[in-house]
Chains A and B, each alone.
Chain A
Amino acid sequence: MKDFIIPDRDMGTPAVKSDITVNLLVDGIPVSVPAGTSVMRAAAVAGISVPKLCATDHLTAFGSCRLCVVQIDGMRGLPASCTTPVAEGMVVHTQTEEVAQVRKGVMELYISDHPLDCLTCAANGDCELQDMAGAVGLREVRYEPGQNHFARRDAEGPNPEYRPKDQSNPYFTFDPAKCIVCNRCVRACEEVQGTFALTIEGRGFDSRVSAGMESDSFLSSDCVSCGACVQVCPTATLIENSVIQIGTPEHIVKTTCAYCGVGCSFDAHMRGEEVVRMVPSKDGKANHGHSCVKGRFAWGYATHRERQTQPMLRERITDPWRVVSWDEALDFAATRLRQAQQDFGPDAIGVITSSRCTNEETYLVQKLARAVFHNNNTDTCARVCHSPTGYGLKTAFGTSAGTHDFDSVDETDLALVIGANPTDGHPVFASRLRKRLREGAGLIVLDPRQIDLLKTPHMGTGLHLPLRPGTNVAVLTALAHVIVAERLYDEAFIRERCDWDEFLAYAEFLLDPRHAPEEVEKLSKVPAELIRKAARAYAAAPRASIYYGLGVTEHSQGSTTVMAIANLAMMTGNIGKPGTGVNPLRGQNNVQGSCDMGSFPNEYPGYRHVSDPETRAIYERAWGVELSPEPGLRIPNMFDEALAGRFKGLYCQGEDIVQSDPDTRHVTSALSAMDIVIVQDLFLNETSNYAHVFLPGSSFLEKDGTFTNAERRINMVRRAMTPKNGYEDWEITQMLANRMGAAWSYTHPREIMAEIALTTPSFAGVSYDLLDREGSVQWPCNDKAPLGTPVMHIDGFVRGKGKFVHTEYVATEERTGARFPLLLTTGRILSQYNVGAQTRRTENSVWHPEDILEIHPSDAENRGVREGDWVRVASRSGDTTLRAHITERVAPGVVYTTFHHPTTQANVVTTDNSDWATNCPEFKVTAVQVSPSNGPSDWQEEYRHHSDLARRILPTAAE
């Protein structure tokens, strides 16, 4: 069933918030709008579209095109309706003889410098200039041909004003010949995206849109390819290459991006089952019509030639793959899984659920472990990213989730960003934060590396605390020390919402001199005065918010850091009101959801412990089986047990643990020790090199379901095309379960969501009907909050009183020494996503074709490393090689890289150290040595050899 939805109408100027309502008359129609609304928008509210070119409701009014002029009783001349605010009792006429005359004249001028190749133009049928020419009744252009920007040449030779197309960006084309200099693209780059890459060079007739310097192309400029300029362009000047190739779309399917945890809503513009373009939804509550290069453009992987669409199996992982029927693959998988249980006990097999798959799919995979395998051996990749968030926030506040919605950032006075790099990892949120920073909000960044957010154009001063990796707890505790020592805490809030005596005990702990900035400076290398300044700024801001990422969680003290963050927010009263809060930025699209859905081995959906008899009773009733009260294995425990010969079978859906998990050699030897590894994925990924069964998965464009983003928002994912592999992922899990005796009979994901709602109190009110109606809701969604909960802990914490946990700094075991004197920390980059399985199969690789090691000039010089050299990075776990980039973004003693490419395998180097509470790996701190190198390491050669062997597919016998 396709969703035919008329695209949102452009109201001309953005909505305005005001308590005052203004009444006016537009063409005789009475309208009431908030004070400050433009006449243009008021007319749109009355159902009247005033002609316009430079105005769009994405951007503040600019008033340059003069097409939107109207007549207003009592006002002289013809005011532009986009820049004229409404007034009480105003009487507006949008069409008079004079108005019509002026508009026609304006249009005539525009068209005199525009090519008339409409029939073959890529924007044909979707061109606002064309529409406006029609709207104003333009019938002739009286100007003689003369100086213009569009003709390549005239009778006398080449036209000096003509500029060729800029096709440097892989996803869109800039054709200056079609530009009407409406400024929309430049304004979108500034207002919406906040990059300020575009500008107008020259004046008058010489005005042109330019990507930075005259020598710059779109690709070489600061442009981050977010697509905002393309989205607002009224002509074919900036247009998606896919539209140039395919043509205009004919229907729209509303869905949710499958990349990061921001969870942007998108309109998939379709022609048949082909995606023409993905356009961010204006009514998307997380993104409000904005996008980044990944969601907007990098969806080509879904139809990439390397996509596997047929099931395959093999006896041994050194055999080539054999393409088989679904029946044969599933029978083989089910038989081997049961065999492993017979031979090694019921606990010998388990599952890994996917943070990229839907809630419904994740729910079924954990149900497979609990109800069909009869154990709790289920875990998810959130283990390796945000599990400390779950533990830390549950301990402090009583629930495992971020406290606020993204909209809250519009009201923050100061953002404290810790261990996160939003402009790369969560770009759409970063744009929203940057907008607030331009409006004057303060910024404090705690990060070993100088992140781009600190270079936000037109913001005030940002404080950067460049701490040494591994010292988060020490620095955050020092911040709390200053707040307590200088009595900057919010006593009323603490007395009301927390336990005062508990706070006093924590205060006493904090006041010990070992937590003073001067002491912490010695460990963290952050100047004491900077720590004091940051603490004062955070405490002084009326509304201060905290946003954090994996630089907080992926440490041996990850959980402690999360609790230190919660303490800071509580002691300053920055909880429960807009603009404040503790907001984890989740990595993958459905990390929040996969955790909510009971993927963890000790928790049922809704974070209820497996030992809780009441919860177990609910599921025993719903599922009709007896359930184990004992916690199952976490991912790292699975590997350890596999090496001990006790864990023999794994069903891994939509994850690439070989590339994403630490200490690659440990992971691959564990997988090699198993009897049956089943990988379900779009591609033959690194993990499939160690698998016996490959089940082809479906992309987010091919299925129905829901994703839950970082603000607990449950968003709909809707099927836009038939799965190339034949089945949605939940169907495959169901087929496997049924071969193992489950007798499941779901016919649509809505039935799975109904079961989730029935068994999980925080989801009790969620249904597909509600989501279709509301667009999205944020859990908890139940009788108490029928439309969900944007901000949590408003009147009280979920656990009752907020808990101050003591936050003693414990140095990680991963220490530098003579052999490994540098600290390696890892992160990601805008254009690539996680293990890169998707983005590497798109044109995004033009921005980031390989992982690069960032190293400080002094460290590089000491080692004889020059820019672009191959270097060997070695730790006690392993070594790899990659190219070096010399930069002062990292401090001396610290090196940095990304983990997007399997040829680099940054995780060969990372260790098996992990968070004390959750076993979340310590990705962010590895002691390493860097030395010049000639080429790939032995491991890289060995791995490539195995990978080549393991990916062979036998030709199918009879076709």
Chain B
Amino acid sequence: MSHDDMSHDVSKLIRMATQMAQFFSSQPDRPAPEAVAAHINDCWTPRMRQDFVAQIRAGAEADPVVRDAAAFVRLPAA
């Protein structure tokens, strides 16, 4: 698979997380990064979560809420 397609997929993950951040940022009941991470943990496969966190750690451009959410995303053991 070409590099283009890979990077497209990862940016798509960040795009999806950004949409979640837009929603949870307007909710009063809990900090948005935690809420975004909880939704990601509920809905994304371990591989998608790994890719997402790796991208953020590698410095991908993202909304601050999305960046902060990465810390709460559950990664599979080892």
Instruction: Determine whether the beta carbon of A916 is less than 8 Å from that of B45.
Output: no
Q: Is the interface of A mostly helix, strand, loop or mixed?
A: loop
Query: Which of A559, A602, A673 has a CB less than 8 Å from the CB of B42?
Result: A602
A633 CA to B19 CA in the complex, in Å? 19
Name which residue of chain A comes closest to B25, CB basis.
A808
| Residue in A602, A631, A643 whose Cβ sees the most chain B Cβ within 10 Å | A631
A630 CA to B76 CA in the complex, in Å? 9
Name which residue of chain A comes closest to B46, CB basis.
A630
A533 CA to B28 CA in the complex, in Å? 30
Instruction: Determine whether the beta carbon of A602 is less than 8 Å from that of B43.
Output: yes
Query: Which of B9, B16, B26, B76 has a CB less than 8 Å from the CB of A644?
Result: B9
| Shortest distance from the beta carbon of A465 to any chain B beta carbon, whole Å | 23
**A805 on the interface (CB 8 Å rule)?**
yes
Return chain A residues, CB-CB under 8 Å to B44.
631, 637
A557 CA to B19 CA in the complex, in Å? 9
Return chain B residues, CB-CB under 8 Å to A633.
45
Return chain B residues, CB-CB under 8 Å to A806.
26-28
**Binary contact track B37-55/A, C-beta < 8 Å → 1, others 0:** 0010011111110000000
- Known A-B contacts A643-B1, A644-B5, A916-B16; the reply to A631 vs B22 at CB < 8 A is no
- Known A-B contacts A640-B9, A640-B12; the reply to A347 vs B47 at CB < 8 A is yes
Name which residue of chain B comes closest to A376, CB basis.
B45
Instruction: Determine whether the beta carbon of A805 is less than 8 Å from that of B27.
Output: yes
Return chain B residues, CB-CB under 8 Å to A646.
47
Instruction: Determine whether the beta carbon of A916 is less than 8 Å from that of B26.
Output: no
Instruction: Determine whether the beta carbon of A810 is less than 8 Å from that of B23.
Output: yes
- Known A-B contacts A643-B9, A806-B28; the reply to A917 vs B23 at CB < 8 A is yes
**B56 on the interface (CB 8 Å rule)?**
no
Instruction: Determine whether the beta carbon of A916 is less than 8 Å from that of B23.
Output: yes
Instruction: Determine whether the beta carbon of B45 is less than 8 Å from that of A347.
Output: yes
A912 CA to B8 CA in the complex, in Å? 12
A112 CA to B6 CA in the complex, in Å? 81
**B70 on the interface (CB 8 Å rule)?**
no
**B20 on the interface (CB 8 Å rule)?**
yes
Name which residue of chain B comes closest to A560, CB basis.
B23
Residues of chain A in range 614-647 having any CB-CB distance to chain B below 8 Å: 630-634, 637, 640-641, 643-646
**A609 on the interface (CB 8 Å rule)?**
yes
Return chain B residues, CB-CB under 8 Å to A509.
26, 28
Return chain A residues, CB-CB under 8 Å to B42.
602, 609, 611, 631
Instruction: Determine whether the beta carbon of A919 is less than 8 Å from that of B16.
Output: yes
**A556 on the interface (CB 8 Å rule)?**
yes
**A505 on the interface (CB 8 Å rule)?**
yes
How many B residues touch A, CB cutoff 8 Å?
23
Instruction: Determine whether the beta carbon of B45 is less than 8 Å from that of A556.
Output: no
A810 CA to B46 CA in the complex, in Å? 28
- Known A-B contacts A644-B5, A806-B28; the reply to A916 vs B22 at CB < 8 A is yes
| Shortest distance from the beta carbon of B65 to any chain A beta carbon, whole Å | 13
**Binary contact track A595-618/B, C-beta < 8 Å → 1, others 0:** 000000110000001010000000
A37 CA to B26 CA in the complex, in Å? 57
A645 CA to B9 CA in the complex, in Å? 11
Return chain B residues, CB-CB under 8 Å to A807.
26
Return chain B residues, CB-CB under 8 Å to A916.
16, 19-20, 22-23
Name which residue of chain A comes closest to B42, CB basis.
A602
A914 CA to B20 CA in the complex, in Å? 11
| Shortest distance from the beta carbon of B8 to any chain A beta carbon, whole Å | 8
Instruction: Determine whether the beta carbon of B20 is less than 8 Å from that of A917.
Output: yes
Return chain A residues, CB-CB under 8 Å to B20.
916-917
Return chain B residues, CB-CB under 8 Å to A559.
23
Return chain B residues, CB-CB under 8 Å to A643.
1, 5, 9
Name which residue of chain B comes closest to A809, CB basis.
B26
**Binary contact track A126-151/B, C-beta < 8 Å → 1, others 0:** 00000000000000000000000000
Residues of chain B in range 1-31 having any CB-CB distance to chain A below 8 Å: 1, 5-6, 9, 12, 16, 19-20, 22-23, 25-28
A388 CA to B12 CA in the complex, in Å? 19
A589 CA to B16 CA in the complex, in Å? 30
A621 CA to B76 CA in the complex, in Å? 25
A602 CA to B46 CA in the complex, in Å? 12
A919 CA to B12 CA in the complex, in Å? 11
A633 CA to B47 CA in the complex, in Å? 10
Name which residue of chain B comes closest to A505, CB basis.
B28
Name which residue of chain B comes closest to A557, CB basis.
B23
| Shortest distance from the beta carbon of A350 to any chain B beta carbon, whole Å | 10
A84 CA to B39 CA in the complex, in Å? 63
A643 CA to B9 CA in the complex, in Å? 9
- Known A-B contacts A645-B1, A917-B39; the reply to A630 vs B27 at CB < 8 A is no
Name which residue of chain A comes closest to B26, CB basis.
A808
Return chain A residues, CB-CB under 8 Å to B47.
347, 641, 646
Query: Which of B5, B19, B27, B43 has a CB less than 8 Å from the CB of A631?
Result: B43
A633 CA to B13 CA in the complex, in Å? 13
A641 CA to B47 CA in the complex, in Å? 10
Instruction: Determine whether the beta carbon of A632 is less than 8 Å from that of B45.
Output: yes
**Binary contact track B45-75/A, C-beta < 8 Å → 1, others 0:** 1111000000000000000000000000000
| Shortest distance from the beta carbon of B23 to any chain A beta carbon, whole Å | 5
A810 CA to B6 CA in the complex, in Å? 28
| Shortest distance from the beta carbon of B1 to any chain A beta carbon, whole Å | 4
**Binary contact track A346-364/B, C-beta < 8 Å → 1, others 0:** 0100000000000000000
A657 CA to B20 CA in the complex, in Å? 26
| Shortest distance from the beta carbon of B14 to any chain A beta carbon, whole Å | 13
A347 CA to B46 CA in the complex, in Å? 10
| Shortest distance from the beta carbon of A853 to any chain B beta carbon, whole Å | 29
Name which residue of chain B comes closest to A807, CB basis.
B26
| Shortest distance from the beta carbon of A520 to any chain B beta carbon, whole Å | 16
Return chain A residues, CB-CB under 8 Å to B23.
557, 559-560, 808, 810, 916-917
- Known A-B contacts A630-B45, A633-B45; the reply to A556 vs B5 at CB < 8 A is no
Instruction: Determine whether the beta carbon of B45 is less than 8 Å from that of A637.
Output: yes
- Known A-B contacts A609-B42, A644-B5, A646-B47; the reply to A810 vs B22 at CB < 8 A is yes
| Shortest distance from the beta carbon of B45 to any chain A beta carbon, whole Å | 6
| Residue in A505, A559, A637, A916 whose Cβ sees the most chain B Cβ within 10 Å | A916
Name which residue of chain B comes closest to A811, CB basis.
B22
Return chain A residues, CB-CB under 8 Å to B5.
643-644
Return chain A residues, CB-CB under 8 Å to B27.
805-806
Residues of chain A in range 713-735 having any CB-CB distance to chain B below 8 Å: none
Return chain B residues, CB-CB under 8 Å to A673.
1
| Shortest distance from the beta carbon of A319 to any chain B beta carbon, whole Å | 24
Return chain A residues, CB-CB under 8 Å to B48.
637
| Shortest distance from the beta carbon of A474 to any chain B beta carbon, whole Å | 13
Return chain B residues, CB-CB under 8 Å to A505.
28
| Shortest distance from the beta carbon of A567 to any chain B beta carbon, whole Å | 13
Q: What are 22 contact pairs spanning A and B, CB under 8 A? A: A505-B28, A509-B28, A557-B23, A559-B23, A611-B42, A630-B46, A630-B76, A631-B42, A633-B45, A634-B43, A637-B45, A640-B9, A641-B47, A643-B1, A644-B9, A646-B47, A673-B1, A805-B27, A808-B23, A916-B20, A917-B43, A919-B16
In the complex, given contacts A640-B9, A919-B16, what are 5 additional A-B residue pairs having Cβ atoms less than 8 angstroms apart?
A560-B23, A644-B5, A806-B26, A808-B25, A916-B16
Binding site for B on A (CB under 8 A): 347, 505, 509, 556-557, 559-560, 601-602, 609, 611, 630-634, 637, 640-641, 643-646, 673, 805-808, 810, 912, 914, 916-919
Interface pairs A-B: 6 shortest CB-CB: A916-B19, A808-B26, A645-B1, A810-B22, A640-B9, A806-B26
